[in-house]
Structure 1
Amino acid sequence: MKRLFILMLNFICVTSFAQFKEPADPKKKLADYGAWEKLSTGIQFVFIDPDYSLSKHNVPTQQTNKSWKADAWAGETVSTQLAVFSKDTNVDNSSLELSYSDLKFGKNIISKQNIHFSPIAYVISDDPSKLGSACGINIILDSTLVADRILNASTIEFNSKESRPLWLSIDIPKNTKPGLYNGTITVSIKSAKRTKKLNLPFTINVLSYKLADAKDWSFYLDLWQNPYSSARYYNLEPLSKAHLDKIKLIMKRLANAGQKNITTTLIYDPWNSQTFDKYDAMIRWIKKKDGSWEYDYSLFDKWVEYMQKEIGISSYINCYSMLPWNLSFYYFDEATQQREVLKAKPSEQAYEDHWLPFLKDFAAHLKQKDWFNKTTIAMDERPMKDMQAATNIIKKADPNFKISLAGYYHPELSDDIIDYTIPFYETMTPEVLATRKAKGYITRAYTCCTETYPNTFTSSGYYEPIYMIVNTLQRGFDGYLRWAYDCWNEQPLEDTRFGSWAAGDTYLVYPDNETSIRFERLREGIQTVEKIKALRLSLTQKGKTEQLKNLEEQIQQFTNKNINRDLIPSQVKSLKNLLNSL
């Protein structure tokens, strides 16, 4: 019976490992194997700075600890990183299994159902840090492995002279009583011959402050969704029930980060094939034999209703784009019984003749669905004269149509754009920003491939997303936008590079609802902003002017001007400590 059990254990481990493939390390030959020889024998299981990026074949050089203590608000998620490593050859091909206990404070408990303890996988990345921009890269960058993909697993293979990163996060329930909650995490290193267990204690100091639920956060997050990418990846009919069911958890993850916008497409390929999977049109344009138009909104309606009712994202419906990058507009022609394409510039009559009938019909449809007031005709990074021409047609169709723009700041457009997102390093004057706020308009910052830092590439420092998010608050903005939540490439689980963009530019999460360190730290940044807002209100009400002044001084360090990249980690840590001590 014992022999049968061991055989079964080996089969389970092999089956699990067969489903997980980690790419080869292109820099393995450059590893410092002398440092491994200097390491003491035994298996090292330690907490490590969550800002530190481990190297698979190098001994961690960051200070490690045998325990961890974190301050947390009720309702907050707190996270950290761990590492397991050994020079002992008898650990080769072992199974590393993770487990954990409830957190306890007297009779009070934070259930282990609120704890997530997972291996972090290495993925292929590149290094654009020495470039002025990470857009349109026309040289071969140095490729490397980075730890980013947080697995939905509790088991992973473990080998000698490899550093295996692990991610620990705890969701603190809103009703948690303040106090010191103690728990234990365990790694079991299993092979056919032996099992070795290692434990580490950790403590969460739950403070008296409470963080609002994500659905109630005032921060306006907009990460563009691409359902056509996941449909291709899972080989499912786009927006079918099977497809929507498959991506429900990953969309819920987005909602739980405070997402406010639904990404929809009016036309086919609005971004001229800049992603591995082209965005298809959610609205079918049909030109009748008599020259009139018919519009099929069934897919558009299905996606919007799904995102609102099942996912819980409902502030804005952004519709892209009247200004595609190739100015090509596809439709089905009943006369020819095939897809046709119109190429027209916004300054041409053919452009208005194509768009004006649609916009009038679309406005009527949106009003019938009671979505008109939350829908924007969305544009991005187009020349101002084209945007002005498009805006005139939009207002001609219905003067109450709302418009959003992610692009360079043009003062001439500010009065027309209710949801305006400008590049991270651009500036909007305080006077214009105040006028927009008075009107109830939303103003955000965005990063894309242009900014080599701070950013959310797989090569970016883990602390960079937090800096970016706090910067939006420092400038008085309402939120942050990034162009791709889930535009997966051909092998998204292994290689985060795509086209001529920096690695990781096209997606922040992985298939099968696997998150990333980048996305988790982005969400942490949003939590930080929400905590600042709550503290501002509390300190003001209590008349604690000195503490409020100290807080504001810390926030002002998160500027978009003359950033000292080396200081970002310490700035993030200092702010985090301050928010938990006021």
Structure 2
Amino acid sequence: MLNVRLSIGISKILLSAYCVLGAAYTYAQSQRVVVTGFTGTSSRVPQEVDAAGSEPVNALPSWEAKAWKGETIHNQVLLQGGTQQQQVSVTAGDLADGKGNRIPQQDLSIGWVKYVWTDEFRDGCGYRKSVDFDSSLVADRIQTGTNTMLIAAGKAQPVWVSVRVNANAVPGDYTGSIIVDNGKKITLPVKVTVLDRVLPPPSQWHYALDLWQHPAAIARVHQLPVWSEAHYKVMRPYYEMLARAGQKTITASITDEPWGHQTYDNYPSLIKWTKKKNGKWSFDYSLFDKYIAFVMDCGINQRINCYSMVPWKIAFRYHDEKLQRDTVFTGAIGTPAYNEFWSVMLRDFTRHLKKKNWFDRTAIAMDERPMEAMQSVIALLKTIDPAWKISLAGAWHPQIEKDITDYCIASEARFPDSVLIRRKAEGKNSTWYTCCSEKFPNGFTFSPPDEHVWMGWYTAATGMDGYLRWAFNSWTARPDEDSRFVTWPAGDTYQVYPGPNTSIRFEKMIEGIQDYEKIETLRKTYKATGDQVALNKLEAALNNIRISNFNQQSATEQLAPYRSLLND
């Protein structure tokens, strides 16, 4: 009987111990970050994934993709915090084809998607107070430079995974994995099929991308004196990032505040204007020359757009030696005083640009100005040198179209087909832009990511050459945390973050540009090989890419039936 009682007692102790260990194991599991899987890049993951009313997040345990040689592709891995914060690492190894060929580890990058404050479109342009608009946290900023991150309890943490395929890669199937270490190692399989088609490097892309740069904003966020050597040093990675997106144009301010100080930071002139005591003028181009040469060295070197003879506020600052102070000229555009004021500068500027061998790639640029003012400026420029190039971002004006070398029209307008054909034959640039007035497609922080991809397809569908957006980096007061601004919908003023750090929006924009290049390559290939069936199929798809479709379908829904055409 004693042995029976002893046996029962031991069993109870073991059972109790088992229960304690099991509870401890369950508790440990609940603390651990959950690896949900690959979610794609067409949507932004909400920070509160399981919150009431939130959309369910679809995830897959593995990632299979196709890519051209020279292309960069992306996906997101969703991690969800446990009951306590936890340090997690995400790493990627080589992708191999089993034949000795590899996509090396250094061509796979890991970024942590961060949340910033956004608002809503409502009426688009116009003064706004954050308290009057529906604000929320949205996934956009991609923080790079580390493979580890402290995941907050109960919060979503998307991980941005990029694979860059070398232009010399051998076609075939490459496999490997993304490894998440949350206390135990979890392997997520990856398979990339490299196709036997080549995407050229960004420097050779035909897509005319023009995101306006704001050098003073970089100085401010890095707490550096503007135009100091330290300022130039921190600017370089930003401009090289933009060059890797295929940027073609340098934004050059030849007057102070060309846009009437609509931005958080000042926009200083690159040229110092001085009226001497004897009434003559001198122009100091030393800063202009240094800055332009610097940006060209970063890889942006095809066009120099100079802003502006037609600013949003007619007030041209210069230094008056006789008065011993800075002053402004406010003469109205087209008046004799205005023409005299600018003629002196333009003659000197023309001489200087020709001496630097920059004249042929330089344009006087204007932005959404009245047609009468632009006609007056065009007439003045022709008296200085008939070869002067003119750039305009604004409404469609057939009266002045032939005078505009670089013409960018608002998304609501279209170039007539015959005009586009003629402009291409003349080597003129014909692009389109979006701003605060378009609800869609656009690149706000609340815009669905695929709208930026859609833009590449729309550019190809319309026969235009590229896309312009007014700000690459005109940052708000705290851009890493809050993308809202006092005048426009959130995110309108910038596409990348200090660091430099990229964004979901910027990466999706590049994806759309890659698609444009692929479309143009396929068009040429099909025509050269006489593959009319494939060409007709591609053109039929492009004919369905229209802005009016946004009234019924999202960008993702519009592109879904056709994306595979580029990789078949």
Question: TM-score normalized by structure 1?
Answer: 0.89
Read off the aligned partner of 1:105 and give its amino acid letter. D
Find the partner of 1:144 among 136, 148, 152. Answer: 136
Compared CA separation, residues 358 and 499, structure 1 to 2 (3 A): same
Q: State the alpha-carbon separation in 2 of the partners of residues 565 and 170 from structure 1.
A: 33
String of CA shifts for 1:454-492, please: whole Å, max 9, x gaps.
100000001001112211111111110000001111101
Tell me whether 1:76 sits opposite 2:68 in the alignment.
no
Q: Give the match for residue 246 of structure 2.
A: 258
Q: State the alpha-carbon separation in 1 of the partners of residues 386 and 43 from structure 2.
A: 52
Read off the aligned partner of 1:85 and give its amino acid letter. Q
Read off the aligned partner of 1:432 and give its amino acid letter. V
Q: State the alpha-carbon separation in 1 of the partners of residues 560 and 395 from structure 2.
A: 31
Find the partner of 1:167 among 145, 160, 168. Answer: 160
String of CA shifts for 1:491-526, please: whole Å, max 9, x gaps.
011101111111110110001110000000000000
String of CA shifts for 1:288-307, please: whole Å, max 9, x gaps.
00111000001110111011
* Equivalent residues of 1:135, 1:450 under 8 A apart: no
Shift of 1:75: 0.3
Aligned residues: 532
Instruction: Name the stretch that deviates more: 143-152 or 540-549.
Output: 540-549
Tell me whether 1:222 sits opposite 2:176 in the alignment.
no
Q: State the alpha-carbon separation in 2 of the partners of residues 109 and 147 from structure 1.
A: 32
* Equivalent residues of 2:33, 2:86 under 8 A apart: no
Q: What secondary structure does 2:309 align onto?
A: coil
Q: Give the match for residue 572 of structure 1.
A: 559
Spell out the pairing of 1:480-519 with structure 2 (5 A cutoff): 480-519=467-506
Read off the aligned partner of 1:43 and give its amino acid letter. V
Compared CA separation, residues 114 and 136, structure 1 to 2 (3 A): same
Q: What secondary structure does 1:289 align onto?
A: coil
Q: Give the match for residue 85 of structure 1.
A: 80
Instruction: Name the stretch that deviates more: 403-412 or 135-144.
Output: 135-144
Shift of 1:426: 1.0
Tell me whether 1:209 sits opposite 2:191 in the alignment.
no
Q: State the alpha-carbon separation in 1 of the partners of residues 214 and 301 from structure 2.
A: 17
Q: State the alpha-carbon separation in 2 of the partners of residues 572 and 183 from structure 1.
A: 28
Find the partner of 1:113 among 94, 99, 106. Answer: 106
Compared CA separation, residues 136 and 417, structure 1 to 2 (3 A): farther
| Residue segments in structure 2 that go unaligned for 5+ positions in a row | 1-29
Q: State the alpha-carbon separation in 2 of the partners of residues 297 and 501 from structure 1.
A: 34
* Equivalent residues of 2:317, 2:327 under 8 A apart: yes
Read off the aligned partner of 2:212 and give its amino acid letter. W
Q: What secondary structure does 1:378 align onto?
A: strand
Spell out the pairing of 1:151-162 with structure 2 (5 A cutoff): 151-152=143-144, 153-162=146-155
Shift of 1:563: 3.0
Shift of 1:137: 4.1
* Equivalent residues of 1:45, 1:198 under 8 A apart: no
Spell out the pairing of 1:427-506 with structure 2 (5 A cutoff): 427-506=414-493
Q: What secondary structure does 2:547 align onto?
A: coil
Q: Pairwise CA RMSD of aligned residues? A: 1.6
Shift of 1:269: 0.6
String of CA shifts for 1:263-301, please: whole Å, max 9, x gaps.
000100111111101210000000000111000001110
Q: State the alpha-carbon separation in 1 of the partners of residues 31 and 567 from structure 2.
A: 37
Q: State the alpha-carbon separation in 2 of the partners of residues 105 and 62 from structure 1.
A: 31
| Residue segments in structure 1 that go unaligned for 5+ positions in a row | 1-38, 190-194
Find the partner of 2:387 among 390, 400, 404. Answer: 400
Compared CA separation, residues 42 and 56, structure 1 to 2 (3 A): closer
Q: What secondary structure does 1:175 align onto?
A: coil
Find the partner of 2:313 among 310, 326, 335. Answer: 326
Q: Give the match for residue 314 of structure 1.
A: 301
Spell out the pairing of 1:409-420 with structure 2 (5 A cutoff): 409-420=396-407
Q: State the alpha-carbon separation in 2 of the partners of residues 575 and 213 from structure 1.
A: 24
Question: TM-score normalized by structure 2?
Answer: 0.91
* Equivalent residues of 1:49, 1:62 under 8 A apart: no
Find the partner of 1:179 among 145, 154, 172. Answer: 172
* Equivalent residues of 2:93, 2:177 under 8 A apart: yes
Q: What secondary structure does 2:562 align onto?
A: helix
Shift of 1:40: 13
Q: Give the match for residue 524 of structure 1.
A: 511
Shift of 1:562: 4.5
String of CA shifts for 1:239-261, please: whole Å, max 9, x gaps.
33221111211211100111000
Q: State the alpha-carbon separation in 2 of the partners of residues 462 and 403 from structure 1.
A: 33
String of CA shifts for 1:430-473, please: whole Å, max 9, x gaps.
12222212211100000111111110000000100111221111
Compared CA separation, residues 353 and 580, structure 1 to 2 (3 A): same
Find the partner of 2:45 among 27, 49, 54. Answer: 54
Q: State the alpha-carbon separation in 2 of the partners of residues 219 and 83 from structure 1.
A: 32
Q: Which has the larger radius of gyration?
A: 2
Read off the aligned partner of 1:50 and give its amino acid letter. T
Q: What secondary structure does 1:124 align onto?
A: strand
